[in-house]
Amino acid sequence: MFQTLVGKPLNNLKPFFSPQSVAIIGASDDLNKFGGRVLNRLIEFGFGGRIYPVNPKREKVLNLQAYPKLNSLPEVPDHVCIALPAKSVLDAVDECAKFGVRFCTIFTSGFAETGTEEGKKLQNKIKLIAEQSGMRIMGPNCNGLISFINNFAISTTGALTGENCIPGNVGIVAQSGGLGQVGLMYRAIELGMGISHQVSCGNQADLGVLDFVEFMVDDPATQVILMIVEDMGDGQKLRKVAEKAANKEKPIVILKLGRSEAGRLAASSHTGALTGEDDVASAAFRQFGLMRVDDCNQLIDYAMFLRNNRLPKGNRVAAITASGGHAVLVADLGGSMGFDWADYAPETHKALNNIMPAFGQATNPTDLTTEAFASSGMFAEAISIISKDPNIDVTIPVLTINKSVDIKVGADFVRKTSRPAAMLWTGKCLDDRNLTASSLIETNVPVFRDTLACLRAVQGAMNYGIFLRSRIGEKYKVKRPTKINLSKAQKILGASENSKLGENESRFLLEAYGFPSLKTKAAENEKDVVEFSKKIPFPLVMKIDSPDIFHKTEVGGIRLGINTTKQATQAFHSLLASAKVAVPSARINGVLIQEMAPEGTELILGASVDLTFGPIVTIGFGGVYTEIFNDVSHRVAPVVEEEAMEMLGELKGFSILNGARGLPKRDLEFVAGLIVRLSWLINDLHMEIAEIDINPLSVYENGKGAAVLDALIIKKTKMENQFG
Amino acid sequence: MFQTLVGKPLNNLKPFFSPQSVAIIGASDDLNKFGGRVLNRLIEFGFGGRIYPVNPKREKVLNLQAYPKLNSLPEVPDHVCIALPAKSVLDAVDECAKFGVRFCTIFTSGFAETGTEEGKKLQNKIKLIAEQSGMRIMGPNCNGLISFINNFAISTTGALTGENCIPGNVGIVAQSGGLGQVGLMYRAIELGMGISHQVSCGNQADLGVLDFVEFMVDDPATQVILMIVEDMGDGQKLRKVAEKAANKEKPIVILKLGRSEAGRLAASSHTGALTGEDDVASAAFRQFGLMRVDDCNQLIDYAMFLRNNRLPKGNRVAAITASGGHAVLVADLGGSMGFDWADYAPETHKALNNIMPAFGQATNPTDLTTEAFASSGMFAEAISIISKDPNIDVTIPVLTINKSVDIKVGADFVRKTSRPAAMLWTGKCLDDRNLTASSLIETNVPVFRDTLACLRAVQGAMNYGIFLRSRIGEKYKVKRPTKINLSKAQKILGASENSKLGENESRFLLEAYGFPSLKTKAAENEKDVVEFSKKIPFPLVMKIDSPDIFHKTEVGGIRLGINTTKQATQAFHSLLASAKVAVPSARINGVLIQEMAPEGTELILGASVDLTFGPIVTIGFGGVYTEIFNDVSHRVAPVVEEEAMEMLGELKGFSILNGARGLPKRDLEFVAGLIVRLSWLINDLHMEIAEIDINPLSVYENGKGAAVLDALIIKKTKMENQFG
C-alpha cells in the first residue's frame, strides 16, 4: 500500500526543519482560518523554498498558485502541513502516505486530548499509517515548528509578528504551543536571545518530544536544549538521548509537568498524558544529567548562561560591584547555595587595595563602594585584576544604575573572558537609553536582571559541569556484577505459584543475585524445630512461614531472642496458634528458624517499575524516616557503584551512616554493592517482577557488611506484564 | 546646650517626608559632587517648598540664593541634608542641633561601615547628639529618601531620571541605596508600579529601618510596605511595629539578609550589622505576620498583588485560559503549593459547557482551548460566568499572545471584581503595541509575567489572610498562665553559685513555673539511698548529682531500671566510682533517685536568648531528629497556646505525635501548655538565663501528659547580662 517507505521510518528529521518544498492542505486566503494563518506566516517569515497551497476551491491562495489535490503537485513536497477539520484529517494523512510524503504536520485538534474514545481511535489510526508507511508525523493538536536557522515557520503563533528574531543556538521543544511558543520562545525573543528551532509537537501520535530533542542534539546549530513535557513517553529513550547529549556536552534543561496531583489531572485532560512518579522523574533527570526547573523563565535563565558553552570548573565564585547592598545579597544567596566566595590570591588583594577607597575592603564579593561611580576607570581596573585571579571559577560583575562606560566594561569582560562569567544588571544605563540588557543579550552576553535567577543559573551550570566530569574515566561505565545467576532466579520466580514470594523464596532469589543470607531452615514440624535449633547458633529468630501472610509482625508471627531448644518448640506452637487466629484461611508451611542478626542501622532497599522510566532502585531509611520524612533516593536501574554511593549521599540522614554523633561509620561500600545488585535484578526481571522490598536491611560497621532481615517480592500480574 | 528639643525625641516623621523647607549643607554647582547631585535632583523632582543651599563660597548655587552658614538662614528648615566630607560632618550636625533643626539626613560615608574604631567612634558621637538634642538623624552612609506623594527627593539616585514616576501606595524601606533604590524602586517604576515613599537609611546611627516602617504603617498613603534589612535592630520593636501594621491590615514583606554565613560576613563589612540566628528570624517573621522572601523581584511580586488590598478568604483558586499548556502549568505549580482548584458549582459547569467547544471541559483550571482565540466574546463570557461562582476565593485569568479585546477583558475583570484576582500574562498584545503589562500595572491591575511568581504572590496573600483571621477573637491575646511563682524562681536562680544549674535545681525552677516533676530525692550517702528507695516506687532511675557533670550518659552517670534496694545501693557506689574516674575534679553531691517514667515519644523543649529577638522558645524532636533533620520550631516568647500548637504542627514529624502509623495520639495540649510556660519563664528571666534545655521531654498518650526526664539551665555570664 505504501510501497516507497515501508519498513524505513525516517530518523533524520533534517528535511522536517529545512524542507525545500512545503504543501499546506487546507490553505486559505482567510487569515481567521488556521490554514490561512499558517500559509501567511510561512510567507512572511521569508521561507525560501517552494510553497504549494492545496485547496480544491481556488486557483490562487495568497497570490500563490493553488492545487486541487496533493497528487496534482509537480513534486512530492518535503513537508506537508494539514490544516483541515478533524473529520477530514485521516483521508489527508492517507493521501500523503500514498503520495510518498516523508514528513507531515497535523495541526488539527479533536483527537486523544478530548479524552473521548472516538478521539483516541482516530489518533491511533494516524499512528498506524505512520508505522505502516514510515512517514513521520508531528501532531495532531500541535502548533507546528519554527526554524530560525532555516527561515522556516509553520505555525499560527503571534510570537513572530513584528519581532526582531535573531537565529541563535538555543533549541526549544514542547508539546504545548502556549508554553513552547509564548512562555519560552516569545519571551526569549523579547529578551534578545536567539533560538535555533522551536517545536510544539502536541499529541505525539508518532513523533514525540524526545525525537525532536534528539534532532537538536545532532544539530550543529543548537548548543542548549530547553524542553517542556507533559508526557515524557519512554524513559529509556530519554536515557539514550541524554547520553548522546552528554557526549556532545549539550545541556538539556527540562520543565516536566505533573509534579502535583492537580497537575497530573490537568495534563491528562490536555494531552492524555499518563506519567510515573514525580520524584522518580526528578531522580532520573539528575542521573541522566538533565537540569530540572519549575517555570518557563527558569529555562530561559539557564539557557542564558549555558549557551556560551563555558562551564565552571568548580564552585569558587567572585562578584564585583559598586553597591554594598548587592554585594551582601549576592554573598548571602550564593552562600546558601553552596558557592565558595573564595579568598583572592595575595597579588589580587594587593592590586585591589591599591585602587580601592580608604574604607573599602578587597573581600569577595568585592564592594568598590560608591567611589566606583565617581572614579572613572576604577570598575574596569578592578575587573581586570580579578579576572587574573587563579582562585576563581566564575566571575559575576554586578551593575545597578551605571554610566555606559561601566556597563560596557562589564559586558565586554563577560563576553571575552575565557572563564565562565555572568553579568547581573538590576538597573539601567544612565546616559544611553539604547544600552539595555536585551541589546547585550543579542550579542550573546549572559545578562540577568534578578540576583536569585542569576545565581541559580550559575549553580545549574556548576552542577552540569560536575555531571560531565563524573562521566570521565571508567567508573561510570555500566558493568554487570559477577556472581549473578539469572537462570536460577528465573527458575525460583517461575516455580512460585503465588503473586507474592514469601520470605524464604525471596531470600533464595536474592541469593541468586549475590545477596548475603542469614542461616535459615524451614521447619514443618516439632521434630524439625528440635533438629534445626541445634544446627543454628543461638539466639534464634522464628517466623511464621506462609504464602498468605506478609505483615508478620502484625499477626504475632515473629519471635525474637530464642535461646534454648525448649523455647524454640514453645515458639513453634505459639506461632502456629497465633497465625491460625489472625488469618484462619492462611496456608501454613511451618516456621522459619533463622540466626538472629545483630542490631545495625536499619535501611530499606527496594525496587519497582515506573510507568515512564521502567526498572527503578530505591534506598532509604527504614520505618518512620521513610514514611514521615520521605528520606529515600531513587535511580533508574541498572546503576554502577558510584551512583549507588551518590544515592546514599543524597539521604538526609546520610550522616547517621557516615559516623555522626560518635556512632561508628557504617559499611557504605557493602550497601552500595547491594544497591547495584538489586538494580540488576530489577533490570533483568522487570517484566516479571513488580516490586521488591528488603525491609529492614540491617547495616553494620565498616567492613562488617549488612544483613537482609526480611524481604518481599511481588510478581507482576499478567495484565501488568503485557504493558511492560 | 540643645535647649529647644531636649528630652523630646520627635517620633512623628511626617515633616521628614514632607518638609516645607530644606537646607543642603555642602550644596554645589558641580553635578559630579554629591551636594550638587542632591540639590539638582530635589529641584528637578519638582519639590514645591523652600530650598536653602548652604555654601560659604558662593552667592548662588544652581541659580538659588546660597547661604554661608546654617544660622544665616531666614528660618529653621524642616529638614537639613548634610553632604560634606566625613571630617566636617560632626561640626555640621552640632550646628543643626544648636540651630533647632528637627530632622537631618547625613549622606556621607566613612563611619561604622568602615569597620574602623575611628569610624565607629565618629558615628557614636552623631548618635549622642541625636539623643541629647532630640533631633532625628538619618544616616550616615545613606542615600536619602524619595517621597513620591510629596514631590520630595533627597538622593543622588539615577533611578528617577527620565522615568514616569507615578505616586502609588507601596512604601519601600532599605538600608542600602543599591537594593532599595535600584533593585526595588527603579524596578517597580519600570514595571509601572506606584511608590509612596522610598527610604535608604544607611548606618542607622539614630533612625533605623523600623522607624521608617512605622511611619509608613501610620501613613494613609501607604498600603503595602517592602523592607530590606541587613541589621534588624530591635526584634521587640519589630514586634510592636508589626502588631500595629496587622491592626491596620497593612502587609509588610521583608527581605532579610544574613541567611548564610557568607551573607552575614558581607553584611558586617557593609553596615556593621550583627544579627541573630536566621531560622529564629524566619520564625519570628511568620509569628508577627511578615512575609519573608529571597530577592528584590519577589518583594515587588508580593506588592503587585497586595497593593489592591483584597485578601483571599481561602485557598480555592480558579484559572481560565485559552492555552492548555498554561492550564497544566498553573494547575501543577498551584497544586504543589496547596491551592485548591475547587470544582465549580453546577450552574457554572452548565453555563461554561454551553459556550465551550465540543471537546473542551469545564474543569478548573479552565482551558477554553484555541477556540477562544477565534470566537469573539468567548473569553469574556467565560470570565463573567466564573466570576459568579460561589466556590472560588481567587481568580486568575491567564493570557498569552492575545488580541487587545481579550487582554482588556482580563484586565477589566481583575480591576473590577470584588474578589481577589491576578492576571498572568506571559506574552504580548497582538494588535496594540501600547497595550503592555506596564500600561495595565500603571492603572493598578496586578499583572504577572511568570507563572510561579504570580502563584507565589497569591499564596503570600492567602497566608497573610490566614494570619489576620487568626488574630480575631481572644485566643491570640497574650495571657500569663496561672501557677507561676516568679519570686521562687528568682530565688532558686540567685541561690545557685554555678553557671549551670544541675538537674535538681533546674527541676525546682521549672516546678516554680508549673512544670510536672518526677518524684526525686537527692541521696548523699548509702543510708539516704536505702531510705529513699523505700519511698519511691520501683523501678527507679539513679543519676550522679554534681554541679560539674552535665552529660551524664557519657560518663556512665545514669542507672536505669533499679528494682530493689540492694540494686540501689550497688548503683550508688558504682555511680560514685564512675564519676570519679571520668571527671576526677568534679564536686559530687551524691546521687539523685527518681521514679522511672514510662517510655513516651521524646521531644526537646528549649529556650534561649536571640541577639535580635530576645527570648525564644523552641520545640523539636529529640536526638537524631533534631541533629540530623533539624526538625525544630521556634517562636519569640511569650506565646499563647494556639501558637504553641502551631509550633507542634510545623514539625516535619508532627504526624508521629498525631497518631501516624497506628500509634496512639500524643497529649499535644499538654505539651502546648508546657511550651507556653517555658516561653514565660524565658520571657521573665532572660536577663539572667541564657539557655534552657529540657531533653528529653517524654510525651504520653492523650490525657496522660508528659514527663521532664532531664533538664539543664545555663545562666548568663555578667558580660552577656550587660548586653541583655
Closest by Cβ to B628, choosing from A180, A332, A653:
A653
pLDDT band at B724 (very low <50, low <70, confident <90, very high): very low
Q: Mean pLDDT, to the nearest integer, of A484-502?
A: 90
pLDDT band at A359 (very low <50, low <70, confident <90, very high): low
For B277-281, the CB contacts below 8 A with 24+ separation are B277/B610, B277/B611, B279/B634, B280/B610, B280/B612, B280/B613, B280/B616, B280/B634, B280/B636, B281/B232, B281/B256, B281/B612, B281/B613
Cα–Cα distance list, B147 to B135, B162, B166, B206, B501 (Å) = 20, 17, 11, 20, 54
Q: A186: which chain B residues are within 8 Å (Cβ-Cβ)?
A: 401, 426-428
| CA–CA gap between residue A93 and residue A111 (Å, rounded) | 14
pLDDT at B359: 57
Q: Mean pLDDT, to the nearest integer, of A443-450?
A: 97
Share of chain B above pLDDT 90, in %: 76
pLDDT band at B608 (very low <50, low <70, confident <90, very high): very high
Domain chopping of chain A, boundaries: 14-260+268-305, 310-470, 486-595, 601-722
Residue B589 predicted with pLDDT over 70: yes
The shortest C-alpha distance from B104 to chain A (Å) reads 21
pLDDT at A323: 92
Q: Mean pLDDT, to the nearest integer, of A710-720?
A: 83
Q: Does domain B486-595 have CATH number 3.10.50.40?
A: no
Q: B179: which chain A residues are within 8 Å (Cβ-Cβ)?
A: 323, 325-326, 329
Residue B10 predicted with pLDDT over 70: no
pLDDT band at A210 (very low <50, low <70, confident <90, very high): very high
Grid cell locating A596: 538472629
Name the least confident of A37-46, B10-19, B331-340. B10-19
Q: Mean pLDDT, to the nearest integer, of B602-627?
A: 88
Q: A629: which chain B residues are within 8 Å (Cβ-Cβ)?
A: 629, 652-653
Q: Does domain B14-260+268-305 have CATH number 3.40.50.720?
A: yes
Same fold, B14-260+268-305 and B601-722: no
pLDDT at B34: 92
Cα–Cα distance list, A560 to A517, A563, A593 (Å) = 18, 9, 10
ipTM value > 0.90: yes
Cα–Cα distance list, A155 to A148, B383, B425, B431 (Å) = 13, 27, 21, 18
pLDDT at B549: 84
A419-448 b/e (C-beta count within 10 Å ≥ 16 → b): ebbbbbbbbbbbeeeebbbebbbbebbbbb
Q: A264: which chain B residues are within 8 Å (Cβ-Cβ)?
A: 332
For residue B397, the cross-strand partners are: B320
Q: Which CATH superfamily is domain A601-722 in?
A: ATP-grasp fold, B domain (3.30.470.20)
Grid cell locating A456: 541559580
pLDDT at B8: 56
pLDDT band at B723 (very low <50, low <70, confident <90, very high): very low
Name the least confident of A283-287, B199-203, B534-538. B534-538
Residue (of B389, B312, B381) closest to B343 by Cα position: B389
Closest by Cβ to A331, choosing from B262, B271, B652:
B262
Name the least confident of B359-363, B598-602, B719-723. B719-723
Q: Mean pLDDT, to the nearest integer, of A388-407?
A: 96
Identify the closest residue of chain B to A376 by CA–CA distance. Answer: B32
The DSSP string of B383-412 is HHHHHT-TT-SEEEEEESSB-HHHHHHHHH
Q: Find all residues with CB under 8 Å of B146, minimum gap 6, and list them.
A: B45, B152, B153, B154, B155, B157, B160, B181, B185, B195, B197, B198
Q: Mean pLDDT, to the nearest integer, of A389-396?
A: 96
Q: B interface mutation test: which of A329, A379, A452, A621 has the most B CBs within 10 A?
A: A329
Contact A116 B359 (CB under 8 A): yes
Q: Find all residues with CB under 8 Å of B163, minimum gap 6, and list them.
A: B186, B189, B190
Closest by Cβ to A332, choosing from B263, B327, B450:
B263
Contact A178 B628 (CB under 8 A): no
Please check whether residue B359 is in contact with residue A109, taking contact to mean a CB–CB distance below 8 angstroms. Answer: yes
Handedness of CA B581, B582, B588, B591 (dihedral sign): negative
- Predicted TM-score (pTM) of this structure: 0.94
Handedness of CA A334, A335, A338, A340 (dihedral sign): positive
pLDDT at A3: 46
pLDDT tens across A609-648, in order? 998 999 999 999 876 666 777 889 999 999 999 999 999 9
Contact A333 B263 (CB under 8 A): yes
Identify the closest residue of chain B to A452 by CA–CA distance. Answer: B295
Q: A interface mutation test: which of B204, B359, B402 has the most A CBs within 10 A?
A: B359
pLDDT at A419: 92
The CA R_g of chain B, rounded to the nearest whole Å, is: 32
Cα–Cα distance list, A724 to A236, A501, A634, A688, B517 (Å) = 13, 20, 20, 9, 61
Amino acid letter, A179: L
Residue B360 predicted with pLDDT over 60: no
Q: B116: which chain A residues are within 8 Å (Cβ-Cβ)?
A: 359
Fold of the CATH domain B310-470: Rossmann fold (3.40.50)
Beta strands B447-448 and B520-523, pairing class = unpaired
pLDDT at A496: 83
Closest by Cβ to A182, choosing from B263, B266, B426:
B426
Grid cell locating A397: 560583575
The shortest C-alpha distance from B331 to chain A (Å) reads 5
